[in-house]
Amino acid sequence: MKWQGRRQSRNVIDRRGRGGRGGGAVRLGGAGGLGLLAIVVVGWFLGVDLTPLLGGSDGGGGYVSQPGSERPLSAEEEAAGDFAAVTLADTEEVWSGIFAEDVGQPYDPSTLVLFSGSTSSACGGASAMTGPFYCPNDERIYLDTQFFTTLDRQLGAGGDFASAYVIAHEVAHHVQDELGILSEAQALQSRSSEEQANAISVRIELQADCYAGIWARAAESQLGTIEPGDIAEAMNAAARIGDDTLQRQSGGRVRPETFTHGTSEQRQRWFETGYRSGDITACDTFGASRL
């Protein structure tokens, strides 16, 4: 992926070190209207993080200082932050165009919060254990950049485009939020059994994979940032984080009724659907008879 030296998004808050990107300040405010029932859409690990909403809200209006650590960022962390900011900028360009042409409304970008170890969100605590996730309460994506290393060394999904896929998937949840899909899905889940709620979660996640595929197609055709092997890296990442694969690796039996993100085959196929079609209407996992 060609990312070095390219434009970085300004919608990034860096909580990893003192005075990082965003000047050590946190923008306040959020989506509003979702209240305490807001769902946290976890990008990669099994399940949905329902961490109690204790002390997570930023309040409203203005900026506040973020206490940040006293250590400087390492060269690796700096590079990871730059990479994330470039990838986020690419998603903003792609989705702004799609919203203008196909949706008929402006695209309001999400904010990416980078952190190390743990931090707070409007949906509760964020930590390395939760993995990257999107919080609709404040319309922010939370990412511990150490996850890129975990993705490579523990999950076997190396390569910069695999990491870009992580970000694109979480941005896709924000796109769902902008389109009103998340709030509708949340309402359905609140009236459903646990197994039914899991099935709804699978459709949410597979649609996000499909949207990530749309972004990948645009990155290739419009931005010219895709290099040979990049799409294969994303497909490998999709295979590595399927519910069935993760359950097998954890030593347990595969239990489809507990799936929340979809099988490896499903995640690959829906990413490919978005990549080959470039059309958001092709990503209607909620209307699909076969996932």
Contact 254, 169 (CB under 8 A): no
Q: What is the pLDDT of residue 148?
A: 87
Does pLDDT of 28 surpass 90? no
Residue 240's Cβ-count burial label (10 Å; 0-12, 13-18, 19+) is buried
Residue 194 burial by Cβ neighbours in a 10 Å radius (0-12, 13-18, 19+): exposed
pLDDT surpasses 70 at 281: yes
Phi–psi pair at 10, nearest 5 degrees: -90, -5
Please give the Cα distance from 5 to 180 (Å, whole number).
35
- pLDDT attached to residue 25: 33
What's the CA gap between 15 and 17, in Å, rounded?
6
Q: Is residue 53 over pLDDT 90?
A: no
Packed helices 194-218 and 264-277: angle between N→C axes, nearest 10 degrees = 40
Q: What is the spatial distance between Cα 264 and Cα 242, in angstroms, rounded to a whole number? A: 4
Q: Three-state DSSP class for 290?
A: coil
Residue 150 — pLDDT band, cuts 50, 70, 90? confident
Radius of gyration of the chain (CA): 18
Q: How confident is the model at residue 63 (pLDDT cuts 50, 70, 90)?
A: very low
Q: Residue 19 pLDDT more than 90? A: no
From the DSSP assignment, how many helices (H) and strands (E) are in the chain?
A: 8, 9
Predicted confidence band at 129 (pLDDT cuts at 50, 70, 90)? confident
DSSP three-state, residue 25: strand
Q: Does the structure show a pLDDT above 50 at 29?
A: no
pTM beyond 0.75, yes or no: yes
Look at residue 178 in the predicted model and tell me its pLDDT: 97
pLDDT at 143 (0 to 100) = 94
The pLDDT of residue 96 is: 97
The letter for the amino acid at 289 is: S
Residues 11, 44: Cα–Cα separation, whole Å = 22
Check: CB of residue 130 under 8 Å from CB of residue 146.
Answer: no
Percent of the chain with pLDDT over 90: 55
pLDDT digit string, tens, across residues 233-262: 999 999 998 888 888 888 878 998 889 899
Higher pLDDT, 36 or 283: 283
> How far apart are the C-alpha atoms of 198 and 243, rounded to whole Å?
12
- Nearest residue to 43 (alpha-carbon basis) of 176, 160, 192, 156: 176
Rounded distance, CA 143 to CA 132, Å?
Answer: 5
